[in-house]
Amino acid sequence: MSDTRPGATVIVANHYQNENCHPDGKIKVGIGADSAWRAERLDNARRLFAGARRAGIPIVHVRLAVDPDFRGVVVNTPLIEEWVKLGAWREGTWGVEFIDGLGPEGDEITVTHTRNSGFHNSTLEEALFSLGARNLICCGVSTAYTVEGTVRQATDIGYRVTVAADACSTATHEQHQNALAAMRPIAQVRNVDELIASFG
């Protein structure tokens, strides 16, 4: 990440919400129901946020939420069929609230979207432009859905992207590793400790 101007690096934090991060959430493709790494990955994300805030690096929080009656939701994938079946991601419910310690603070920007990529049907691109972003650090739940979808679109539109690998999670360790491998040709993959050290 060679561009070190203020605002040039921005963290894009995807779906740290109760629905897929809390044990009582309806969605288990982000963190499996009994995943041993749940607390570790979420704690890593909290450490990443704290390090970014100390360094003055902006965080943009991307949340998923749809109309409570699923009006306008195109049900064209098994994943979205599952959302509807479970009644998940409905605006105004506990599930779409940020999990404790991973929500916005102060004047940090929050954007809402309705699919996998954080850019889809959201103001993410405008938010990043307003911050002068050139380099993105992407993290979130799930690695194989919202993180990979956001990374791919971000690189397509010209951003340099780093994935905070151990601040991401998906349903199984194998799926997580496969998603990271799929992103390596287009993004750097680093751990949270490396990233925090680079902020200094």
**38-55 vs 192-199: helix axis angle to the nearest 10?**
10
Examine the pLDDT at 6 and tell me if it is beyond 70.
Answer: no
Predicted local confidence at residue 36, as pLDDT: 76
Categorize the per-residue pLDDT at 172 as very low, low, confident or very high, splitting at 50, 70 and 90: confident
Predicted local confidence at residue 156, as pLDDT: 97
Mean pLDDT for 116-141 is 96
Q: What does the pLDDT look like over 67-124, one tens digit per residue?
A: 999 999 999 999 899 999 999 999 999 999 999 999 999 999 999 999 999 999 999 9
Examine the pLDDT at 2 and tell me if it is beyond 80.
Answer: no
What's the pTM? 0.94
Q: Compute φ and ψ for 127, nearest 5 degrees.
A: -60, -45
Higher-confidence position of 20 and 38: 20
Give me 108's structure tokens.
């940090």
Predicted local confidence at residue 145, as pLDDT: 93
Give the C-alpha separation, 192 to 161, whole Å. Answer: 14
Q: What does the pLDDT look like over 149-162, one tens digit per residue?
A: 999 999 999 999 99
Partners of 64 in beta bridges:
113
| pLDDT, mean over the chain | 93
The b/e string for 46-85 (b: 16+ C-beta within 10 A; e otherwise) is bbbbebbbeeebbbbbbbbbbeeebeeeeeeeeebeebee
The label of the residue with tokens 């946020």 reads 49
Q: Report the percent of the chain where pLDDT is more than 70.
A: 94
Predicted local confidence at residue 7, as pLDDT: 56
Mean pLDDT for 45-60 is 97
Say whether domain 9-199 belongs to CATH 3.40.640.10: no
The label of the residue with tokens 């003055």 reads 56
Predicted local confidence at residue 96, as pLDDT: 98
